[in-house]
Amino acid sequence: MAEAVANGLLAGAAYALVALGLTLVYGVLHIVNFAHGALLTLAMFAAWGLHAAFGLDPYLAILPMAAGFMALGYGLQRWVIGPASHGDDGNTLLVTLGLSIVIENALLALFRSDTRTLGADSGFDVVELGPMLLSRPRLIGFGVSLLAAALLWAVLSATDTGKAIRAVAKEKLGAQLCGIDPRHVYAVTFGLGCACLAVAACLLLPTFYVNPRVGNAFVLVAFTIVVLGGMGSIPGALVGGLFVGVVESLGGLLLGESLGQLGIFVIFILVLLLRPTGLFGARA
């Protein structure tokens, strides 16, 4: 039981990172990014490809991957999503949905639905912690996720860019009048969201498989976390992520794998119906 809780916490950290990117984009752009899951899949394939082609360890790939996905996200928002949606929220939703369909199925066409893994045994390394056996890659993932979240928090609260992001999130017109270009800020935010995904992908890779649909498994979990934690709330995403990780781990233990899946959706629907502002979100 304690082991299940600990494992849930460890898995939850990766969820939290995925959710962090989603909540950041929602908090600033006020849109749900439906392409989030597909972008995570893309990041996992990229990390897998770097390993397969150049033997690059996924942990070493974190920094270049984050930089690359930051640029990708910036470009996507600046030149695709932004211009295509004419500033209408409904359109943005549909454009990100379109992007996710394109990315996911392009990967499917290129790599087929085969499942790939890193193929190393390192995924099964365990660390003994008191009475519990914990997986080493997951432990590393936990540490790095918290570090990445702290870093994001620091960027948002201390740098000028962070201030600009928060300003646009609060009052777009006011920020614009102060000389901030919201299109640039939107793109930077989207880039940061994608960078979170790249880090998460590198951390997940050693213990997880890769196939063109893998992002779907995470994206609904991430949506659940974001809704649970309150749309746009960063501490909410962290706590929500850890909570959902534990619930899933316990659910899998008590109900078995196939119905354990159901738990996430049920929580999701219940939270949306009963408390759509989440645990940390401001009252609408």
Residues that bind another protein (CB under 8 A): 31-32, 34, 80, 83-86, 88-91, 93-95, 97-102, 104-106, 108-109, 112-113, 212, 220, 223, 227, 258-259, 261-262, 265-266, 268-269, 272-274, 276
Cβ at position 93, least distance to another protein in Å: 6
Tell which residue, 274, 252, 236, has the closest CA to residue 1: 252
Q: Which is nearer to another protein, 212 or 245 (CB)?
A: 212
Cβ at position 227, least distance to another protein in Å: 8
Q: Which is nearer to another protein, 8 or 104 (CB)?
A: 104
H or E stretch including 126?
A: strand 126-129
| Helical segments of the chain, H only | 2-29, 36-54, 62-75, 82-85, 89-111, 136-158, 160-170, 172-177, 182-204, 214-229, 234-255, 257-274
Q: Are 211 and 116 in contact (CB under 8 A)?
A: yes
Query: What are the angstrom distances between the C-alpha of 55 and each of 50, 52, 180?
Result: 7, 6, 42
Cβ at position 237, least distance to another protein in Å: 16
Residues sharing a CB contact under 8 Å with residue 86, sequence separation 6 or more, in sequence order: none
Cβ at position 110, least distance to another protein in Å: 9
Site of tokens 């909540």: 23
Site of tokens 């990117």: 21
Cβ at position 213, least distance to another protein in Å: 10
Query: Across-strand partners of 133?
Result: 128
Q: Which is nearer to another protein, 67 or 270 (CB)?
A: 270
Helix, strand or coil, per DSSP, at residue 134: strand
Compute the distance between CA of residue 104 and CA of residue 41 in angstroms, rounded to an integer. Answer: 8
Q: Which is nearer to another protein, 53 or 113 (CB)?
A: 113
Q: Which is nearer to another protein, 67 or 254 (CB)?
A: 254
Q: Which is nearer to another protein, 146 or 220 (CB)?
A: 220
Cβ at position 160, least distance to another protein in Å: 30
Q: Which is nearer to another protein, 97 or 140 (CB)?
A: 97
Cβ at position 202, least distance to another protein in Å: 25
Site of tokens 């360890």: 57
Q: Are 251 and 9 in contact (CB under 8 A)?
A: no
